[in-house]
């Protein structure tokens, strides 16, 4: 039914639930499963107004960003080794930028047929302040999206 499934993860318990469901779907549909994490870029401003002012001779932003991406890749690799059986054709990717935009763009580029993602179910002020990656993906994806929310 779905030959390519995408599961974005943020390493939360909710994302683990979505990954479990993605694996079950991939097994039942004999699908390829892509698992991605989107790392936020390091927010800096060189010598100006911004989240931080940085002296590039003291703090190497590019090196710090690469270390963050490498750490995320290792964490994602470990998670997938634990949760995805060898019988599932899977791959992992680390992207950098706005999570929702990157997930939608990656899904389109890879001809994904289903996105399985978790939602934290935030409402009110928490949702307003934190935004909703899941909502962005649901609104902008051109393929079906399965939103997983496991009640605690």
Work out the mean pLDDT of the chain and round it to a whole number. Answer: 86
The predicted pLDDT at position 46 comes to 56
User: In the sheet that 114-118 helps form, which strands lie side by side, from edge to edge?
Assistant: 89-96, 32-39, 4-8, 114-118, 145-148
Measure the CA–CA gap between 33 and 17, rounded to whole angstroms. Answer: 15
Task: Kindly state the average pLDDT of the residues 130-151.
Answer: 85
Q: Please state, for a pLDDT cut of 70, what percent of the chain lies above it.
A: 80
Task: Kindly state the average pLDDT of the residues 129-149.
Answer: 85
Assign 3-state DSSP to the chain and report helix, strand, coil percentages, each to 5.
45, 20, 35
The predicted pLDDT at position 130 comes to 44
Residue tagged 């995805």 (tokens): 84
Q: What structural domains does the chain harbor?
A: 4-148 (3.40.50.620)
pLDDT higher than threshold 50 for residue 128: no
pLDDT in tens, 1-17: 899 999 999 998 889 99
CB under 8 Å to 81, separation ≥6 — which residues?
Answer: none
Of 140 and 130, more confident: 140
Reported confidence tier of residue 42, pLDDT bands at 50, 70, 90: confident
- Three-state DSSP at 11 gives coil
The predicted pLDDT at position 77 comes to 97
- Rounded to a whole number, what is the distance in angstroms from the first to the last CA of the chain? 30
pLDDT higher than threshold 70 for residue 58: no
pLDDT higher than threshold 60 for residue 125: no
């Amino acid at each position: 039914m779905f030959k390519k499934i995408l599961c974005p993860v943020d390493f939360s318990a909710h994302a683990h639930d979505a990954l479990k469901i993605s694996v079950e779907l991939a097994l039942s549909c004999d699908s390829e499963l892509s698992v991605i994490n989107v790392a936020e870029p390091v927010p800096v401003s060189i010598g100006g107004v911004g989240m931080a002012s940085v002296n590039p001779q003291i703090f190497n932003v590019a090196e710090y960003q690469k270390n963050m991406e490498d750490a995320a890749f290792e964490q994602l690799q470990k998670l997938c080794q634990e949760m995805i059986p060898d019988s599932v054709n899977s791959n992992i990717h680390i992207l950098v930028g706005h999570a929702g935009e990157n997930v939608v763009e990656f899904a389109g580029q890879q001809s994904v047929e289903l996105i399985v993602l978790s939602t934290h179910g935030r409402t009110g002020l928490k949702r307003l302040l934190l935004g909703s990656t899941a909502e962005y993906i649901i609104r902008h994806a051109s393929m079906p999206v399965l939103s997983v929310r496991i009640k605690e």
